[in-house]
Amino acid sequence: MNECCAGARIQLRLFRRNPGHLLVFTTIPFFSAIFLSSLNAADRSDLAPYAVIAPTLMALWLVSLDLAGSVIDDDREEGMLELFTASPANLSLMLTGRVLVVSAAGLLAFAEAALTARVFFSIPLPTAHPWHVLTTLLTTVLATAGTATVMAGAFVTARSAKRFANALGYPFYVLGGVLVPVTFLPVWIKPVSWFIYLYWSAGLLRSSTEPAPVQDFGPRLGALCLLGGVSFGLGILVVNRFMHRARAQGITGTE
């Protein structure tokens, strides 16, 4: 637990030293404005929740990719990875603290998108089921942290992790139904979406903003938790194996 808290403190200090990791939040109002303008032009203001939910999930996904793709490379460049390897500290727990801080910061995107809709388009975000929305957002943060952990674990052995991270943006927006529901995708590819946490999160958030009762809220939330938990477990396993190998052979993947 101490390592987890230490990782959170490290990430907060890194935010102050390098606020560039938070630049993604400057794009949220613009994405929201683009989506909302398109809906207004089509006279479909009833779909405003789609224009708020999409930028939120995009921001969460981007910050998780940014952390997963940069944390290892940055630690290598600054010589921190070698220090972690030589110390008895649990790198996986420190990584957990870092990804939780970054994922929690992603909640700012929801407030930004909702505020953009309210202030510039006079469209309030309907929240027929506020507790469902809050529960889904918090669970999405945890699932995002789990996904970032498994990505960081996978990238820990890569020589240039950022190249892989940069390629994982838009395909997951489409497969996760972030803006357009997956019902519009070809039938053969729909089952792939079931294994992407963004799919469950987007569906739950959209359902939670509609007046009708949320169908199968528990099972759908459980699927979201399961995907996040499995990702987190796999990430911890990969990171621990890498650290064991690095300590045994004296390598950090830079050779």
With respect to residue 39, please indicate whether it lies within any of the assigned structural domains.
Answer: yes
* Number of separate domains in the chain: 1
Give the number of C-alpha atoms closer than 13 A to the C-alpha of residue 213, restricted to the C-beta side: 3
Rounded Cα gap, residues 199 and 178, in angstroms = 7
With respect to residue 140, please indicate whether it lies within any of the assigned structural domains.
Answer: yes
With respect to residue 90, please indicate whether it lies within any of the assigned structural domains.
Answer: yes
- Quote the domain boundaries for residue 12: 2-249
With respect to residue 255, please indicate whether it lies within any of the assigned structural domains.
Answer: no
With respect to residue 254, please indicate whether it lies within any of the assigned structural domains.
Answer: no
| pLDDT one-digit tens code per residue, 175-206 | 898 988 888 888 888 899 999 999 999 999 99
Mean pLDDT of 59-73: 72
User: What's the pTM value of the predicted model, to 2 decimals?
Assistant: 0.85
With respect to residue 126, please indicate whether it lies within any of the assigned structural domains.
Answer: yes
Print the SS3 string covering 119-137. HHHCCCCCCCCHHHHHHHH
> Do 176 and 205 form a contact (C-beta atoms < 8 A)?
no
| pLDDT one-digit tens code per residue, 125-135 | 877 899 999 99
Q: At CA 12, angle to CA 8 and CA 16, rounded to 5?
A: 165
